[in-house]
């Protein structure tokens, strides 16, 4: 089977090119996908601005106990960032050109296995920079070095900024199948949770919230 994917950099938005990259890896066999019969209505709650909370069915996988915030979802596939895996890597060391402004998002978080060398920002700020992709009412995604430098340079102490290395992606239909077989719980995203002070606790907290044990 021959598959043609239109992903010319000069004609595709950055987020669309990320989906194209993931689709290309899928057809190259890098992203595994086991076709499973599924009812698409089981995944009707999927949209950007939703948390995907891994269930016990993903134990032993790369996504074990992860919380993913959906940043894009349409007919072309799904994209998100893992928000509960902080790392010990400094943003300024990863991208030296950001070192002078990296204090506003000092440590990198692991966003997912796709293009780990790419860096993205999730931001909560009352100001519009014109380079963000809105996820929920007050949280936006930014990508690209020019946008990152601009946002980090203009961040105020009241802003919330987190940096992520890599992202997570699903080809069309893949996430719907995973939802239908019970791999993920879908919960409406919350700004305070995205920027929680203790991200490693998020999975347990959200499982409690889903099961009615939220405290």
Look up the domain containing 151 and give its range.
88-167
pLDDT of 212 reads 62
Q: Is the pLDDT of residue 201 over 50?
A: yes
Strand partners, 168: 80
Confidence of residue 104 (pLDDT cuts 50, 70, 90): low
d(CA 144, CA 131) in angstroms, rounded, equals 9
Domain assignment present for residue 51? The answer is: no
Does 192 map to a domain? no
What secondary structure does DSSP assign to 157-200, as a single string? TT-EEEEEEEEEEE-TTHHHHHHHTTSEEEEE--HHHHT-S-GG
Helices (H), the chain: 14-27, 91-94, 145-153, 174-180, 191-194, 202-210
Which residue in this structure is represented by tokens 């889903």?
210
pLDDT of the residue at 129: 57
Percentage of the chain beyond pLDDT 70 is 73
For the cut 80, the answer to whether the pLDDT of residue 42 exceeds it is: no
Residue 213 has which token pair? 């044990």
CATH number of the structural domain spanning residue 116: 3.40.1740.10
Joined together, the tokens standing for residue 91 give 């943003």
Q: How many domains does the chain have?
A: 1
Lowest mean pLDDT among 5-9, 29-33, 134-138, 148-152: 5-9
Mean pLDDT of 95-102: 74
CA distance 18 to 55: 26
| Rg of the chain on CA atoms, in Å | 17
Region 76-98: mean pLDDT is: 89
Q: Report whether pLDDT(22) > 60.
A: no
Which region among 55-59, 77-81, 112-116, 127-131 has the lowest average model confidence (pLDDT)? 127-131
Q: Is the pLDDT score of 183 beyond 60?
A: yes
**Cα–Cα separations (whole angstroms), residue 80 to 120, 150, 154:** 11, 23, 25
Predicted TM-score (pTM) of the model is 0.77
Please list, in sequence order, all residues whose beta carbon lies within 8 angstroms of the beta carbon of residue 70, skipping any fewer than 6 positions away: 46, 47, 48, 49, 50, 51, 52, 78, 79, 80, 135, 189
Give me the DSSP letters along 118-133. EEEEEEE-SS--S--E
């Amino acid at each position: 089977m021959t598959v043609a994917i239109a992903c010319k950099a000069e004609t595709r938005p950055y987020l669309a090119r990320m989906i194209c990259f993931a689709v290309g890896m899928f057809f190259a066999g890098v992203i595994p996908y086991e076709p499973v019969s599924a009812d698409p209505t089981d995944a009707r709650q999927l949209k950007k601005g939703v948390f995907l909370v891994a269930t016990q069915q993903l134990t032993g996988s790369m996504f074990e106990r992860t919380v993913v915030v959906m940043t894009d979802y349409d007919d072309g596939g799904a994209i998100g960032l893992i928000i509960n895996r902080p790392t010990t890597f400094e943003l300024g060391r990863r991208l030296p050109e950001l070192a002078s402004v990296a204090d506003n998002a000092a440590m990198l978080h692991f966003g997912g296995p796709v293009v780990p060398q790419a860096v993205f920002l999730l931001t909560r700020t009352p100001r519009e920079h014109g380079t963000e992709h809105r996820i929920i009412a007050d949280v936006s995604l930014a990508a690209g070095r020019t946008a990152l430098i601009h946002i980090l340079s203009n961040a105020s102490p009241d802003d919330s900024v987190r940096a992520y290395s890599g992202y997570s992606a699903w080809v069309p239909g893949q996430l719907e199948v995973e939802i239908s077989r019970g791999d993920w719980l879908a919960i409406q995203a919350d700004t305070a949770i995205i920027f929680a002070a203790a991200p490693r606790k998020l999975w347990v907290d959200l499982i409690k919230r889903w099961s009615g044990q939220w405290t």
